[in-house]
Amino acid sequence: MLLRDIAHSRTGDKGNISNISVIAYDMAHWPLLEAEVTRERLQAHLDWLEITRIERYVLPQLGALNFVLYGALSGGVTRSLALDAHGKCLSSAVLEMEVPR
């Protein structure tokens, strides 16, 4: 199944850094999110980006993971020629990650 089936996300960005939270719809899915949505899997899933480093923060009380993606925005909004250089579109890409049922 896709991550979007069990979670939603929120994003933010500053310069060339994107901040993405993945939040379980139901706490029953929290153990799966915590186990399967790792830095390594996220890096592989977003391999088309020039991410230099990913930090992962675990927020079990909220059923959420927070990822800070360095180098993810092609230099940032004011430096990129991309149509949408904000981190908001990355949340949709992250939610396309496959996780086991």
Q: Which long-range contacts (CB under 8 A, 24 or more apart) does 51-60 make?
A: 58/34, 60/30, 60/34
Q: pTM value?
A: 0.84
Q: For the structural domain made of 3-94, what CATH number should be given?
A: 3.30.70
Domain positions in the chain: 3-94
Render pLDDT for 22-81 as a digit per residue (tens, 0 to 9).
999 999 999 999 999 999 999 999 998 889 999 999 999 999 999 999 988 876 665 444
Instruction: Return the C-alpha torsion angle 66, 41, 71, 86, nearest 10.
Output: -60
